[in-house]
Structures are given as structure tokens and as C-alpha cells.
Amino acid sequence: MIPEQFGYSAPSSLGEALSLLQEHGEDAKVLAGGHSLIPMMKLRFAAPTHLVDINNVPGMSYINEEDGKLKIGALAREVDLEDSELIRSKFPIFIDASKLIADPQVRNFGTVGGNIAHGDAANDHPAVMLALNAEVEITGPEGKRTVPIDEFFYGFYMTAVQQGEILTEISIPLPEGKFGCAYHKLERKVGDYATAGVAVALTVDESGTCTSAGIGLTNVNPVPLRASRSEEALVGSKLTDEDIARAAQFAAEDCSPSDDLRGDEDYKRHVVKVLTKRMIKKAIDRI
């Protein structure tokens, strides 16, 4: 399978990349890891007339701690998450997710930024970013702006990244106090999209009362979904089995999965319920 013809540039600075996007207009696309875009182009679901390959733009692959935030450069690869000591020690949720994303070869190239900018509710990072209350930095001709993750996903393949703009950084507030997080998705086989996936991040105070909760759901809604009622059910609670069961029940009720090859609606709601319960417990275990 061969994509339709297109033009190609590989700029060596962000400024150059932005002017190329300006120049080529609405049919230009940014190429990062390419493991979502190129398959779509081969199947001719996508036919951009120009690709702006940002892989040669230096200084966009970092994963570090700065100003009380975890900062992930848009070109950080999935494998960089797995190899990062900072991620391993403070945000094991990314290791949970990354291990289940495609396979090692794809993770060598696929980027965290691309996983989000693709705007697919079946991707795994969106739910994780919802649970962690991430902020997305978008750079355009006018400069930088920051969008909270809750305002980032518009619809199927649509995000806050507008024509002529590039997603440049994801930042996540470093948790204060006792914190635990976990992600899991049910997949039929390695490399499959999630039947359903659940990301959970919790903080608790000294008395064991939950002070904040973030819960994101994968592939059970047209856009990545925050399970708000489940979060509310946990905050202020002692995270008893009853509280957890209630939160899990809310997540199952509030998502809107569709029937497909991976299962029917009822089955997927059940999977959400079970995974929500398990991920809350796993997050608690990691506190």
C-alpha cells in the first residue's frame, strides 16, 4: 500500500516548521512518530498534500521536572517514558500505558505528543492525561498558548490544535502529598486498541481521606472521557470498598461505548466497571 503523492519538508527549527505549515495551508500535516498518520495515508483515509516532518527539530524530546511540573516534550517517544527514571519512580501509570501501546518497534517511534494530537478516543494517553490533569502547550504563528486537557479534545480526530499550530509540550502538575496512579486496558491481542481502558490518579491525606481523584476512560465514548461522577464519589471518602464500587458503577453508567468487534455495549460497560474498581485499588496500593 502506497500513500497518495505529497510534498515533504524536514525543517530543523520550530520556527521553520511553523512557517512551512502556514505556507502549505490546511492540507499540510505534521509528521512526528508517524505510526498513526502513515498507516492512515497508506489506506488513503488521509491524503495530506504536504508533510512537515518535525523529527529534526532539536530539543523536543525531553522528559523532566520543572517548576513543580512534569514536562514532556512533544517528540518524547513511548520508549523514552519506559526508560525514564523520573517516570518509573513518580508516574508508573505511564509505564502501565506504554507497555500496552502497540509493540516495541512502534514505541521506538511513536510519540506521546502524537498519541494525543491524533485526537483518537481509542488511544491510551488521552485517558491518562485526563486522570493527571495535564495541560497541553500549543505553539502557533502567534506564539504559545496552554490548553487544559479537558478543553483539548473536540471530537473524532479533532483537537484544540488548529491549522498552522503544533503541539509542543505536555505538562502535568507534580502531585502533592500521598499519590498513587494506575492504568490498564483490556485488549484482545498485542497492538489492539482498547476494548476499554481506565486511568486513575489519587491523592490522600494523612488520615487516608481522598483529597483528589482523576479518572479517564479510553475508547468508550466519542472523545476521551473524564468520569466526573466517579471522581466526585471518591473525593472526601475514605476509599472504602463501597466508595470504590459506587465510583466504578458511575463510570460504567456515564460512558457511551458502541457495539463493535470488541464487544457490545453492555459488555464494555461491565469492563469499565471492573477496570475502574481494579485501577482504583491498584492506585491505592501504590500510594
Partner 1 sequence: MKKQITVTINGTPHTVEVEPRMLLVHLIREKLSMTGTHIGCDTSSCGACTILINGKSAKSCTILAVQADGKEVTTVEGLATAEGLHPIQEGFKENHGLHCGFCTPGMMLRAVELLEKNPTPSEEEIRWGIAGNLCRCTGYNNIVKAIQYASAKMQGNELPSTEPEFV
Residues forming contacts to partner 1 in the complex (CB under 8 A) are 1-8, 10, 31, 34-35, 38-39, 41-42, 51, 53, 55, 79, 99, 102-106, 108-109, 190-191
Name which of 9 and 218 has its Cβ closer to partner 1: 9
Decide whether 13 or 105 has the Cβ nearer to partner 1. 105
Residue 129: CB minimum distance to partner 1, A: 24
Give the residue with the Cβ less far from partner 1, 52 or 182. Answer: 52
In the complex, least distance from residue 46 CB atom to partner 1, rounded to whole angstroms: 12
When the beta carbons of 35 and 226 are compared against partner 1, the nearer one is: 35
Q: What is the largest CA-CA distance in the chain?
A: 62
Closest C-alpha to 79, from 103, 59, 46: 103
Q: How far is the CB of 7 from partner 1 (least distance, A)?
A: 7
Give one DSSP letter per residue of 49-118, joined into a string: SEEEEGGG-SS---EEEETTEEEEETT-BHHHHHH-HHHHHH-HHHHHHHHTSS-HHHHHH-BHHHHHHT
Comparison of 104 and 148: residue with beta carbon closer to partner 1 = 104
To the nearest whole angstrom, how small is the minimum distance from the Cβ of residue 43 to partner 1?
Answer: 8
CB of 47 to partner 1, least distance (A): 10
Residue of 48, 52, 54 lying closest to 5 (CA atoms): 48
Phi-psi region at 19: left, alpha or beta (left = phi > 0; alpha = psi -120 to 50): alpha
| CA 197/CA 272 separation, integer angstroms | 7
- Residue 214: φ, ψ to 5°: -125, 125
